[in-house]
Amino acid sequence: MRCVILFVFLLLSCTAVLLSCTAVLLKHNKDGSNNVSATNIGLNYGLLGDNLPSPANVISLYKSIGITKIRIFDPNTEVLNALRSHQDIGVTVGIKDQDLAALAASEDAVKHWFATNIEPYLADVNITFITVGNEVIPGEIGPQVLPVMRSLTNLVKSRNLQILISTVVAMSNLGKSYPPSVGKFTPQACEQLVPVLKFLSLTNTPILVNIYPYFAYASNPLNISLDYATFNTKDVVVKDGPMQYSNLFDAIFDAFVWAMEKEGVKRISMVVSETGWPSAGNGYLTTPDIAARYNGNFIKHVESGKGTPKRPNCSIEGFLFATFNENQKPEGTEQNFGLYNPTDMKPIYKLF
């Protein structure tokens, strides 16, 4: 999420004109809790809080609401141990950014990392993805991503393991994004990201992308319609040649697709590793009602299976951010993206 501000400034310069494939079932329990049964919807499980429930209780929560995919940001042993024998939950495990330098320098270091952090759980934890870095491309340590991905890919292939190796990127890689068809990567993204994308194309592995319409809207609410930002209108807001957009998420998603195609990468799939809306922290722009509207409509969008104008009828796979409000994040909206209060595990709002 930390790279979204750069993208916001880019998007603001282009959005002044905005004045004018599996099923998901969402239902509510009688006690008001959220019940999401979805093969294409997952949850991010962050741990930056000092009042979070135990991992065992969190796993029980996931099972009670039908979540079958989660993403953790590092190979936390307590969380992974709690996931033992819950192989109906697929887990995306991240590598810490600060570990990349040592891993990029040595294949033996990669083997040791895998033996320490993944190997002990292979028998009874369903690890589906390993992500190499979180929003480090483009950036100073961006060049370290591809060597680690190569080493890990070779390792899992040599073991015949069905674990996909990828990385997570933000929309700050886009130098142009409006209209979506002019989507183009920045020079630094071309240098660091495009080789990664071409490698993923060879391994038939998705790129993971973080997409936050909230940040664009919050930076210019006068010129970006809230309904457009929260999937709450069927009216066409942006016409891009034959393609018509009624929500900002699709426009951002497709701008990234267009940027990939301009670099010769045409068949790589995209998993939305993070999306969400804070329920507090920025006044009237961040209320539980608006957060519920965005997240609920995102789930419905996934449920529809219609994809985006650029990739129609291609089901979107995504992870909502996040499970809990995390009080050790920076004050403001960063602490308020959670669906649940950590102290009592009650929903902050009902999804619909």
* Residues classed as catalytic: 135, 274
Q: How far is CA 211 from the centre of its chain?
A: 7
- In this structure, is the dihedral angle defined by the CA atoms of residues 262, 13, 208 and 107, taken in order, positive or negative? positive
Q: Count Cβ atoms below 10 Å from residue 105 Cβ, excluding itself.
A: 13
Residue 255: its H or E element? helix 248-262
CA angle 33, 34, 35 (to 5 degrees): 120
Q: Which residue has the tokens 């979180």?
A: 134
* Residue count (the chain): 352
Q: Which tokens sit at 304? A: 């529809």
| Angular region, 95: left φ>0, alpha ψ -120 to 50, beta rest | beta
Residue 171: its H or E element? none
- In this structure, is the dihedral angle defined by the CA atoms of residues 76, 77, 82 and 83, taken in order, positive or negative? positive
Q: Give the separation between CA 166 and CA 153, rounded to whole angstroms.
A: 9
Q: Give the separation between CA 312 and CA 301, rounded to whole angstroms.
A: 12
Q: Which tokens sit at 240? A: 């891009």
233 close to 227: Cβ distance less than 8 angstroms = yes
Q: Which tokens sit at 146? A: 């591809």
Strand partners, 127: 91
288 close to 340: Cβ distance less than 8 angstroms = no
